[in-house]
Chain A
């Protein structure tokens, strides 16, 4: 597989064409919304995290925005993955994701932990695209800190 094909895995193109959890859920219960912009290309995401009444478990993650296939797929994959996680689990997930993406191809995302999002491993070789993949994850981190 060429480097380009490891970046644009079929799974990534599928998610970007058929994004999951697209469209913001109602603002009810414990929730927060984060708006993030990638200043180099103007891509944007608005992501809403809602938390269960226990105040700790993520009820759902919904989002809308526009951007490249990497940023759209990443948001779609993350919103699948985050449901049911505790705040601590989510934070660990985001930290691990950031570390792998910044590793310049040295670290791989574990498919057992990251599910479809493990397909984003290839992004770490393309430092100009790390921000695209991180956009939704930064939004979730921000939303959870304020929810």
Chain B
């Protein structure tokens, strides 16, 4: 253990009562391989507090019915709870309810946008939809650090429309090259899609600057907020981004639900992607007219229970306080960095001097494959992610196919970080790699 140097290590802000928080997460009491679970894989999926499970249970045992149809009491109760959940989750990102579309997750939200832009290109939608239409030679700009979910939908859209996909490069320290961004984002740019926080690097990107560059040329901005929504206070309207997506299961919520935020004029102009029931006004055998946003984008049965669970999750985050959560996780990240950076053969990815961060680090263990390193940690009850974390191009830039990623959340403790660091110190010796 590292107790001798404890006083020198960054200690999380005392404002967070982690012991009380942990009591709300039953799974954190599990044993793994005979050791207490140390869950450091929240960037992949967070654990869910009792309050979220209870909210879904209460809905299913007291109010479950089909929403937005039927006139019976349960149907009305269910519709109220579902729409209240929308108001709560929209409010969590600073938006009014009608600017929040339910999606199954960020991947669905990004595909919805890419396919809706494609539909606009095909001439579908209202006259205002033409603003999203792409023609050969138009440019879609992403970055070199995106999760595949914010890359492949744009590759496909470019291939369908003849638009050109360009990438803002990243410096070796993981920060985006803003000079390059300023020269890449130009008169041909129609869409700029970027992540708020990379799921590999943990660096909070200067997204306000990207939005400003895109605004100057009239490009539509799309932000992946998956790794920021659970960790930072967000005010999307104040940020000025046109669209943003987040996944419920990464922010203490259930699987199968997430949010797509859009500025009002953007959502109003956007043609639908999925069509069918619940998104129409009048239908004939040959044509249909559509409801306004957000219903226009919510064809078919919605994840009602999970949406209500997600509302409970964001209430939980708000009750603890996003500023306190960020301060806590920032201190955990700093503690992790100090411990890991000292270990011979450990290379941190995205170790940018002075960058603002969330509580995650990905690292390479020289001479040991990430899978083997992760197996060693698992034997000590420590759950981390190994692999390319759905960001293969970024790993290629660092000259590795895979890395180990430890990601913290509000329920992690400084002691757990010390256990991780202590365990990582033993990896290379176990696999017989000279240090």
Q: Name A5-29 residues within 8 Å CB distance of B.
A: 7-8, 13, 17
Q: Is A106 an interface residue (CB 8 A)?
A: no
Contact call A17/B401, Cβ cutoff below 8 A: no
Q: Name A60-85 residues within 8 Å CB distance of B.
A: 66-70
Contact call B388/A41, Cβ cutoff below 8 A: yes
Contact call B432/A17, Cβ cutoff below 8 A: yes
B431 CB contacts on chain A under 8 angstroms: 8, 13, 69
Contact call B372/A69, Cβ cutoff below 8 A: yes
B215 CB contacts on chain A under 8 angstroms: none
Which of A4, A7, A67 makes the CB contact (< 8 A) with B369?
A67
Contact call B402/A129, Cβ cutoff below 8 A: no
Contact call B395/A42, Cβ cutoff below 8 A: yes
Q: Min CB distance, B433 to chain A, in Å?
A: 9
How many residues does chain A have at the interface if contact means C-beta atoms less than 8 Å apart?
A: 20
CA distance A73 to B389 in the complex (A): 24
A44 CB contacts on chain B under 8 angstroms: 401
Among B33, B369, B376, B379, find the residue whose CB has the most chain A CB atoms closer than 10 A.
B369
Q: Min CB distance, A126 to chain B, in Å?
A: 7
Q: Min CB distance, A119 to chain B, in Å?
A: 15
A129 with B392: in contact, given A2-B379, A3-B33, A13-B432 (CB under 8 Å)?
A: no
Contact call B387/A7, Cβ cutoff below 8 A: no
Q: Is A56 an interface residue (CB 8 A)?
A: no
Which of B370, B376, B430 makes the CB contact (< 8 A) with A41?
B370
A8 CB contacts on chain B under 8 angstroms: 372, 375, 430-431
A68 with B369: in contact, given A42-B395, A42-B401, A43-B401 (CB under 8 Å)?
A: yes
CA distance A68 to B403 in the complex (A): 11
Contact call A41/B371, Cβ cutoff below 8 A: yes
B395 CB contacts on chain A under 8 angstroms: 42
Q: Name B415-432 residues within 8 Å CB distance of A.
A: 430-432
Q: Name B348-366 residues within 8 Å CB distance of A.
A: none
Q: Is A132 an interface residue (CB 8 A)?
A: yes
Q: Is B386 an interface residue (CB 8 A)?
A: yes
CA distance A132 to B370 in the complex (A): 12
B387 CB contacts on chain A under 8 angstroms: 40-42
A4 CB contacts on chain B under 8 angstroms: 375-376, 379
Contact call A41/B401, Cβ cutoff below 8 A: yes
Closest residue on chain A to residue B379 by CB atoms: A4
Closest residue on chain B to residue A44 by CB atoms: B401
CA distance A129 to B370 in the complex (A): 12
Q: Min CB distance, A132 to chain B, in Å?
A: 6
Chain A 114-143 per-residue mask, 1 if CB under 8 angstroms from chain B, else 0? 000000000000100100100000000000
